[in-house]
Structures are given as C-alpha cells and as structure tokens.
Structure 1
Amino acid sequence: MTEDDLRQMIGRVKRGSLSRRGFVKRLAAFGLTAPMATQLLALHGINAASAQSVPAYKPTRRGGGGPLKILYWQASTLLNPHFAVGTTNQEASRVFYEPLAGWAADGTLHPVLAAEIPSIENKGLSEDGRTVTWKLKRGVKWHDGQDFTADDVVFNWEYAKNPAVAGVSSGSYTDINVVKVDDHTVRVEFQKPTPFWADAFVASRGMLIPKHLYKDYNGTNARDAPANLRPVGTGPYKFVSFAPGDNLRGELNPNYHMNNRPYFDTIEVKGGGDAVSAARAVLQTGDFDYAWNLQVEDEILKRLEAANRGKVNIVEGGNIEFVMLNVTDPHREVDGERASIKTEHPAFKDPAVREALSLLLDRGSIERFIYGRGGPATSNFLNNPPRFASPNTRWEFNIEKANQVLDAAGWARGRDGIRTKDGVRLRFIFQTSVNAPRQRTQAIYKQAAQRAGIDLELKSVTASVFFSADVANPDTYTKFFADMQMYTTTMTQADPQLFMNQYVSWEISSKANNWQGRNIVRWRNEEYDRIFREAEGELDPVKRAALFIRMNDLIVGSNHVIPLVKRPLVSASLNNLSTVLSAWDNTHWLISDWFRET
C-alpha cells in the first residue's frame, strides 16, 4: 500500500463512501491493527466522537437515576492523580478529575475537557511531529465554581515535572514544554519529532487538578494539600466523603459540562473484601451495580452468572500478570536503603537461576485451572495491540530442564534439598497481594520449584497495603523488599510507549524518588534505553513496532520479568446497567455516560 492509497481511503471515510469498519479491515490485510487504523483516522480529524466509538447515551435529562454502587475489592488510599500509585487510586481520582481526552475501547481518542482531538486537518498537529495544540472546551467549571482555563493545564505541567513534588506522572511531563496560547488554548512542544503525542494531559496520566487549590503546594509540601483527600475536579460527580481504604462517596455535579449527564444522583465506590465476594455482590445478590477487576477462577464466575442477575464483562487490552525477580538485594541496606541499586541480588545475578525459575512456572495449568477466559497464558510482556506482540518468544514448563540448567551452573543440593552455591541458598521470599488466584498460583509455583531444589517462602500482603502509596510502608509493591513478586501491570493507552518505560534506567524506583519510579524491578540495560529513546522519535509505524518488539524480547529474555497470563479487563455488572468500558483507559474513564436501562 502506498501513501497515496492510504490518503485516498481516509478521504473516502470522510466522504462516507467507505465505512470505518471497511477501512479497518483493509488495513488489517496489510498488518495494521484496529487501534492503529482508528488512530490514523483520528490524526486526520475523524475522531472517536464522529466515528461513534463510544456507545450512544440515551438519558434525556440530568439526574434521576438514584444511586450508583461500585465495588472495588482493592480500596483506594488517596485522591490526587499525580500520586496515584496503583490502578485503584487512579480509578478513585477519575471519579472527580478529568483529562483533556481519554482512550475509547477501539483505541481512538475521545475528547473530554478538549473541544476536539488535535489532528493535521484541524491544525492541532504539526506535520513535523514537534507540536500539539489543544483547544479547550469553554464553560467548564471546577466543582467550587471557578473557571477551568489554560492556566490550569499549564500548572499541571509545572506541578508534574517538579522533582520536589515527586509525582508518578512526572515521566509524561518532564521532557516537554507547555505554552498558553490563550485562555482556552495550550500548545505542547516536543524536543524532537514525537509519534506518540497523546500522553501528557491524556487518560490516567492526564487528569487535571485545579491551580487555585494546588499552587501553594507545588513543592516538597505537595502531599500536605487538603485537596489530596477532598478533591475539587471538573467531573460528573462532586466529592462528598472519603475514608481511605474503605469508602468513597460523590454526588451529582449540577454544572457538569456535558448535557444530560450524569444520570445517577449519587456514586459510591466501596473498597475492601475480596474478588469472589465482589463478584457475588453483583452477579448473585445484586447488592452492587458493578464490580471491578474480578481476578476470580472462571468456574466460579460461570456459576455466579447462572443467577441471571448480572453479566461478566471481558474487554481485551494490554494488561499482564507477571512475576519479577529482584535485580537488587532486598536483604541488604546501603546508605539507609534496602534493595539499593548499589547492590546486586546474590542469586538472581546468575542467569541460570532466572532461566530455571522461568521454566518452573506452569502457565498452562494456571490458565486452564484458574483464570480461564480471564487469563490466557503468554510469553510476552507486551501483548497488545497485536502488531506490537513479539513472534520471537515461547514459554515452556519443564522441571527436568530446570534441574539440568541448575546442575550445569554448579548449584548443588544440600541435605535439606535446597540448592546452594558459594554460600548462597536458593531460598526466596515470593510476595503478592491477597487474592485467591494469586495464592493458588503461588502454590503451583512453589511445588514445581521444590522439585528443582528451590524453596519459595510465600508471602501474601493485603491488597490495600500492597498497592498503597504510603511511603512509610515496607510492604508496598513499589518498594519490592522481597526476592520475587507478582501482580498485574496495566496498559492504559493504545500505544506501548508509557507501558514500556517501566524498564528504562531513569525510571528506577528508589528512596530518592519516594519509590515512585516505574522501574520497580530495577533492571538496567543500555541497549533497552537506547532503543526506547529511538522509538520515542520514530514516525514510521512499522519501524516503531519493531523497536518495541525488540524491547519486549530484551526484558523477557533477561528472565528478570517472567510473563504469566494476559489480563483482559474482567468485571461484572447488573444486566440493566449500561457502562462504557475501555481496556486502554481507567474503568471510570467515561463514568459520565453510565446509566440504567429501563
């Protein structure tokens, strides 16, 4: 396909002589995925709204829908999106705060606080890939009545990039410049051609906080801001109350900037419990309208669905459940810091040990007997969109081979059966959150490891603690004060750039950045860093995909990261609840458009 052919097809879609679906199918024949095809349309002004990628909203007036009750078995602990470590804190923040745009299920951008999605056609995107101009929706107000303007957008850039703030969003804002054009227009300037421009101010990293409430907390005192626990946003619901680790309540925003929205009068996001009880509370008893992230054995979900009160929603995306092996030594302290980058793990520095642990992970059984529909086995860390999935990796479960690898590397069994070499024993603390499928996975892994002379001490941490943003808590997953750990990392954009920066050296989680860096395994590889930087500026989509495949192969090939199963979004909702879900964004990305069918 030539460039002229592509332009002609895009023109036909604009004129209506070729459907979006037809366009996507034709590009699929040339190896381009649906998200990439729809993103190409968005770049030329055919955005998510015009393409009807978001289901039609039916209510004809605001309010009147009664309460919306949502159950999160992993509770949120704070409400500032710039400090939102873990998905649940992002989700809670998204009830009140909004970005300029979000990602729809088909991988296109949908305007939220933006008046339109930037494109070459509307002159929002420069052809050299160096600037993006966002036009802001007019008439938007913060929940306290103050006007939302370009000053708020510029402030969020200043706040996020401030190292004294130490926000988890800093990686999206550090290397850009943001200029106020007028009260309702901002321009984002890049240092080089940037193919993935929809990062800053978009989706989970783009939720905007009000300048007038945070301007005095733009520094080391950022975590002292009262609004961190009493948010004032622009979203469809206004803050009522919040009990960290328990319950979040909101009420209808009468001045919301979208017509006839929201439908529900109040919203409650209840935290705590476990995934099975959350599924039961929707599918069997109907006590809640929606239950998030049902990491539950598929057989249990099928039995609960039989009550016919609700349904299980499965939305494909890029989330991945995986095991990580600590690059550093979590049992040593250097300069007052455990798992310091100045240390090296005494056992995992041997590639034979890491290879053996990969061979001992029985992904096939875990898929068949635990996850089912909710967890296909995979050998890739980066699985979606499909054009970014590597064809070069394979997973293998082979206890005999693991023993051979360890024997050849000189790890000998002691009297207790545990292998030892140079005074180092293959005995590891393996931690994860409290969750039945994860504990079953731990048990399967432990049994296989024992047969290879490796002893795994299983540790289960309450989810509200494990995924907490509490910098004083030693059991959070970002500190990783264990030898091994397992959890799901989420891919909240239909592009892998932010997802794959989890392994660049400048994102290492450490005491210096309050353990907010995204590289939690603390892996360093010069080739990976170089390729990532190259991909940031590669405008050719085919070449760029090849770079990300190489990144996947490097981190997976190191066996410091061992993919387990793909994690589509699995949730439950009552049969009469209409939701707008996307695997490329937060669950609450368009909570304004949820309603109850009558």
Structure 2
Amino acid sequence: MNEDEIRKAIAEVKQGTLSRRSFIRTMAAIGIAAPAASQILAWNDVAMADATLPYKPTKAGGGGPLKILLWQAPTLLNPHFALGTKDQIATRIFFEPLAGWDKEGNLIPCLAAEVPTKANGGLAADGMSVTWKLKQGVKWHDGKPFTADDVVFTWQYAADLATAAYTTGSYKDLKVEKIDDHTVKLLFKSPTPFWADPFVGSVGQILPKHHFGDYVGAKSREAPGNLKPVGTGPYKFVEFKPGDMIRAERNPDYHVKNQPHFDTLEVKGGGDAVSAARAVLQTGEYDYAWNLLVEEEVLKRMEASGKGKVDVTPSGNVEFIILNTTDPWTEVDGERSSVKTKHPTLSDPAVRRAINLLIDRESIQKFIYGRGGIATASFVNQPPQFKSSKLKYEFDVDKANKILDEAGWKKGGDGIREKDGKKLKFVFQTSTNAPRQKTQAIIKQACQKAGIEIELKSVTASVYFSSDVGNPDTYSKFYADMEMYNTTQPQPDPERFLNQCVSWEIANKDNKWLGRNISRWSDPEVDKAYKAAQNELDPVKRAALLIKVDETFCEANVFLPLLSRNIVGGGANSLMADISGWDVTTWNLASWYRI
C-alpha cells in the first residue's frame, strides 16, 4: 500500500464507508501497528473512538468490593511525584487527566469534553497551540467544582522547578491560559507535533488548586494531599498506609453516568509477583493482580486451576539494563553517581560493548519471560515506525573476550580482568523478583567466562521503585555499577519516553532524583536531535530524529535493552477490566465491572 492508498483509506473512514477497525487491520497488514494507525487517523482529523471496553451495568454501585494487588506497594499519592509506575497507578484512582490512552492508542476524553481536533477548533494548523474544552458539572471529592483554574494551577505547579516534580518536562516549555471557566488554551514556544502530553495520561493528572495552592515550589512536599488525595476520580479516599494498602469508596457524584460499578476498592501492596498471581489465579482471593513478572511455566500451572486468567496486553515498555558511566562509590556534594565523576571502568566503551555481548537475550525470553517479552536490542519497540532497523543483538562470549583483550584488560591470577590497577568487578542491582534474579544469574555466568566479576544485589520492589529522597537503594539514585528494570512508555508516541536520554532530565540531588535520565549519560547530538523532534511537524523526519536518540544510547551501550515487554496481568474470570498498554493500569478504572 502506497501513500496515496493510505490517504484514500483515511478519506473512506471520514466518509463512514470504512470502519476504524477495518482501517487499523489494513494498516496492521502492512506493518503499521494499531497505536500508530490510530495516531494516523488522529493526525488526519478523524474523530476518536469511545473507550474500548463496552460498559454494561445500568447503574452505579452494586458491584461490592474490588480488590487489586500491586506487589510493588505505592508509597505516595501525588501524581506529580509518582516516578514509579506503582505510584502512578495508585494516584490515577483519585486524580484524572483531561484525556487518556486506550489499548489501540486512541485518545479518550476524561475531564475534557472532547479531544481537540482541527475540525472542532482545538488544534492550530501551525502546531503552536491547543485548546481544550473542559467537561462541565465535574466536582472534586469535597464538592467543590472542577474548573479551568485547576488546570492552570496544575501547569504552574508542575512547571515550577522548585516543586521538583517528575512531570516538569511536560510543562516547563508552555504557557496555559484560561479562556473561560471551562476552556483552556495551551501555547507552545514552537511548533509542537506531539501536543497530547501535558494534561494527558499519567503525567496529566489535575490537582485541585484549593488543596495544593499553598504548597507550591519548596513547600510542595508538605501538602496533606500528597498522602490524602482529593480528586475527581471514580473512588474517594478512605485510608492509605504507605508501602501497604489503599482503601477507597465509590464516588457517588462521579461525572460519568452509571459508573463506577464497585462500591469499595482495596489496593494491597507488598509481597511478590508469584504470590500475587496465586491470589488471583488459584485462590480467587483478589480480583486483579498487576505486573505478573512470573515465569511462564508457573503462570500456566496457576491458570489451570480455572479461577482466573492471564491477560497479555502489547505495550511499548522495555526491560533493560543501564551501565553506569559515573562513579557510584564516590560522593561529591552529597551525592554518589554524580555527573561530576567518571566511572573507573565502565567509562571505557570497550567494557560496555563486551558486557552487551554477554547477554543471552533469546534464552531469557524463552526460558523465563515467555508471553511477557520479546528479545530486543532497541529501547523503543512500538509503534513500529519509531523502532530502529539498525540495532541488532548477539550473544558471543568469544567476541567479548577478544574486545577486552584488545582494549588492554588482562586476566589476573584470580581470573578477573584488570588494567592500571582497576578490576572489572561490578555490583548489578535490580528489584527482588524471581525472573529478574534468574536473568541476573544468566548474565553473571556469562560475564565470568569473560573475566568479569558480578556481585548481584536485589532490593525489595517497594524500596527500589520508591520516590523517597532519603532512601539510598532506589533505582533513581543508581548507587550501583549496573541496574535492571522495566520502564514504561506512557503513550503511543515515544517523545516523552525518550526524555530519559536528555541532559536536562538527569536525576540528581537538586531535583530530588526525580529527573527522568537515570543513566546520567548524555550526548550533545542526542539533545539536539530530541529538541528538533519536538518541533518537527513532518512525521517521517520526526521519527528519524527520535530513532537517532534511541540508537545513540544503545550503540554507546549505556542502555542494554533486553526485552520488549508486554503488560501481563491476572484477573478473575468474572472481572471485566479495561487495560491499556499506553497508559497506567487504572486509566479507565471507572469502567471495570463484574459479570
């Protein structure tokens, strides 16, 4: 299918002679995934679809309790401090954005009355502004009305560098104007092709001005709302024990008719993925378990009990390793892994390249993750037009040894390579979880064959993914030589996902380690390409710029992608849950129901 044929198909969708679903299937046949096809329709001003899960209950309430397991326990409830996915999932119970992403990559209105398009006057042709019309009649949980003032305030709050929000990158380069009580206009400094970032999805959750207005900037961590949220969501706050559990109750004034279905909500944190899977698939004690990072054979055995089912949703997430090019063992100005330092051995590109060759990705996929992931060498894997065709992986111990030999790293009497008195000995950390520990063990064994000694470290997930600035074991502090985790692509466009590669997002003491660039590594050419992509309206040129960002980090072997991850959850057979690979698990929690 050529460009003219694609345009003809778009015209047929507009005319109503071709369904959106048929268009998406046609695009899939030529290698364009559903999220990308949906974005093509959006860019061409085709109206968005409704949410993907048909909602059948005829009244709100009556569903009894809904019990969810997050084995990585939430530790805070302010969405703009929620660096970890577990915390983003928790905050989305209470707070809502203007719109979210469904599983096909469609933008679905939430607090907005409609999605902006050129036809409805929301999108400026020059890419310089977006106008959002807000839903009327929405109330905060305390009864106060939701208005444009709350949207403007959320922009001011997140854009303030002193707030040290993890969402700052989505808000600092725009201006938000109140047109009237139910209309806001976003003004960009330059043409912005991907305008659906601020106020959308996990980074877009709106805060009530009347609760957070006195807690901006340096006072942001003092707000009672950080732990006792008052939002617009389908469930109202009852109780929160950080690192343990959340209890909520149905919001009787929710702004969507006949929703939510459940009367109460319990989110239990802690434990591990295996016990979470068992509690849903075997015992039926809980209704839904998130992120079942469990070996494939174990999941199949549990499913055989017949009480629950595994749900696999495609996503842009990636399981990967970061190699630290800063020094995690030397403290400078109150922080380790400072950009002011240089790693004594991993700063050598030859060492990083050798480690990448010592990862048996295909075995990790086949014997550990199964349905949960596909081996990859690319940080960005979805949608397909943003994936590099150049990046390849291989597992070759002999080649790794040769590279280290040629770089002057010689094996000592203990079999460990060294050079200039520095040994290739590394601490490799990740969260405590069986598949990850097995992955670590596979990599450690291969590294031993190349004269590299690996000390394995595992950290309880609720600690590892915590946003606690006082905790030295968080992944964002990165006080280790190498670390592994899954990072979430929060939308079907990788621009925000790739801000993990830019210099101004480097995690450090000043931003309370909430910067998105955990690696601390940067490249002026990456910064240049990323900034150009933010303003490039030609989709082909823009994709090429973002691919360059991905390729630079992967070819430098700072990022070592392992698996393109699917979202694997477990649900009771009676539960109807709307899960998206482009948004957090609770993005459409109001539409969940029991049959």
TM-score, normalised by the number of residues in structure 1? 0.98
Q: d(CA) in 2 for partners of 1:427 and 1:212? A: 53
Deviation, 1:71, is 0.4
Answering whether residue 29 of structure 2 is matched by residue 24 of structure 1, we say no
Q: Tell me how far 1:7 sits from its aligned partner.
A: 5.6
Amino acid of the residue matched to residue 107 of structure 1? G
Shift of 1:41: 2.4
Find the partner of 1:530 among 524, 528, 547: 528
- In structure 2, the partner of 1:575 is 573
Match for residue 324 of structure 1? 322
The CA distance in 2 between the partners of 1:292 and 1:438, in whole Å, is: 16
Structure-to-structure mapping, 1:245-260, within 5 angstroms: 245-260=243-258
Shift of 1:36: 2.6
Cα deviation code 1:6-64 (max 9, x no counterpart): 6654343233211113323444566644323212323455443xx34522100000100
- The answer (yes or no) to whether the contact 1:42–1:117 under 8 Å persists in 2 is no
1:451 to 446, 449, 452: 449
Once superposed, which parts of structure 1, at least 4 consecutive aligned residues long, lie more than 6 Å away?
A: 1-5
Shift of 1:214: 0.4
Question: Taking structure 1 as reference, are residues 420 and 4 closer, same or farther at Cα in structure 2, changes over 3 Å only?
Answer: closer
* Aligned residue identity for 2:559: V
DSSP 3-state at the match of 2:80? helix
- The residue type equivalent to 1:305 in the other structure is E
Change over 3 Å in CA distance of 1:32–1:304 after alignment to 2: closer
Mapped pair 1:13 → 2:13: yes
Aligned position for 2:228: 230
Residues 47 and 109, structure 1, Cα contact 8 Å, conserved in 2: no
3-state secondary structure, aligned to 2:35: helix
Q: Are the equivalent residues in 1 in contact too, given 2:316–2:581 (CA < 8 A)?
A: yes
Name the SS of the counterpart of 1:513 in structure 2: coil
Deviations 1:302-329 (A, max 9, x none): 0000011111000001111111001200
Structure 2 residue matching 1:319: 3-state secondary structure: strand
Which residue in the other structure is 2:512 paired with? 514
Q: Distance in 2 between matches of 1:339 and 1:79?
A: 28
Partners of 2:455 and 2:32 lie apart in 1 by 45
Paired residue secondary structure (1:278): helix
- Measure, in 2, the Cα distance between the counterparts of 1:363 and 1:5: 38
Query: Which one-letter code corresponds to 1:596 in the other structure?
Result: R
Question: SS in structure 1 opposite 2:377?
Answer: coil
Aligned pairs for 1:276-287 within 5 A: 276-287=274-285
Cα distance in structure 2, aligned partners of 1:539 and 1:148: 33
Query: Could you tell me whether the CA contact under 8 Å between 1:45 and 1:118 is conserved in 2?
Result: no
One-letter amino acid of the structure 2 residue matched with residue 280 of structure 1: R
Which residue type is aligned with residue 38 of structure 2? T
Q: Counterpart of 1:363? A: 361
CA contact (8 A) 2:501 2:549 kept: no
Measured after TM superposition, the shift of residue 2 of structure 1 is 8.5
Letter in 2 for 1:10: I
The aligned residue for residue 594 of structure 2 is 596
CA 1:122 to 1:7, structure 2 compared with 1: closer, same or farther past 3 Å?
farther
Deviation at 1:340, TM superposition (A): 1.1
Pairwise CA distance, 1:150: 0.1
Bigger CA drift: 5-14 or 474-483? 5-14
What's 1:559 paired with? 557
1:469-488 equivalences in 2 (<5 Å): 469-488=467-486
State the alpha-carbon separation in 2 of the partners of residues 7 and 360 from structure 1: 46
Alignment RMSD (CA, Å): 1.4
Q: Is 1:243–2:226 an aligned residue pair?
A: no
Counterpart-to-counterpart distance in 1, 2:432 and 2:463:
10
CA contact (8 A) 1:43 1:118 kept: no
Indicate the residue corresponding to 1:430 in structure 2.
Answer: 428
DSSP 3-state at the match of 1:177: strand
Which piece of structure 1 moves more, 28-37 or 156-165?
28-37
CA contact (8 A) 2:31 2:384 kept: no
Residues 419 and 3 from structure 1, CA distance in 2 versus in 1: closer, same or farther, beyond 3 angstroms?
closer
Distance 1:515 1:47 in 2: 40
Question: Whole-Å Cα distance in 2 between the matches of residues 403 and 555 of structure 1?
Answer: 23
Q: Give unpaired runs (5+ residues) of structure 1.
A: none
The separation in 1 between residues aligned to 2:226 and 2:421, in whole angstroms, is 48
Q: Which amino acid aligns with 2:478?
A: F
Aligned to 2:286: 288
- Once the two structures are overlaid, the 10-residue window that deviates more, 286-295 or 357-366, is 357-366
What's 1:177 paired with? Answer: 175
- Residue 208 of structure 1 is aligned with which of 206, 209, 229? 206
In 2, Cα distance between equivalents of 1:47 and 1:433: 42
Whole-angstrom CA distance in 2 between matches of 1:86 and 1:113: 24
Unaligned runs of 5+ in 2: none
Question: Distance in 1 between the 2:488 and 2:498 partners?
Answer: 11
Confirm or deny that 1:498 pairs with 2:496.
yes
Work out which of the residue numbers 128, 138, 141 in structure 1 matches 2:139: 141
In 2, distance between residues paired with 1:67 and 1:47? 36
Q: Answer yes or no: is the 8 Å Cα contact 1:241–1:250 preserved in 2.
A: yes
Output the CA distance in 2 between the equivalents of 1:504 and 1:86: 19
Matching residue within 187, 191, 206 for 1:189: 187
Instruction: Tell me how many residue pairs correspond in the alignment.
Output: 595
Q: Which residue of 2 is the match for residue 36 of structure 1?
A: 36
1:43, 1:120 within 8 Å by CA — same for their partners in 2?
no
Counterpart mapping for 1:385-400 below 5 A:
385-400=383-398
In structure 2, distance between residues paired with 1:41 and 1:248 = 39
Query: What is the alpha-carbon distance in structure 2 between the residues aligned to residue 373 and residue 231 of structure 1?
Result: 36
In structure 2, which of residues 75, 91, 94 is the aligned counterpart of residue 93 of structure 1?
Answer: 91
Q: What one-letter code is carried by the residue in structure 2 that aligns with 1:352?
A: A
1:169 partner letter: T
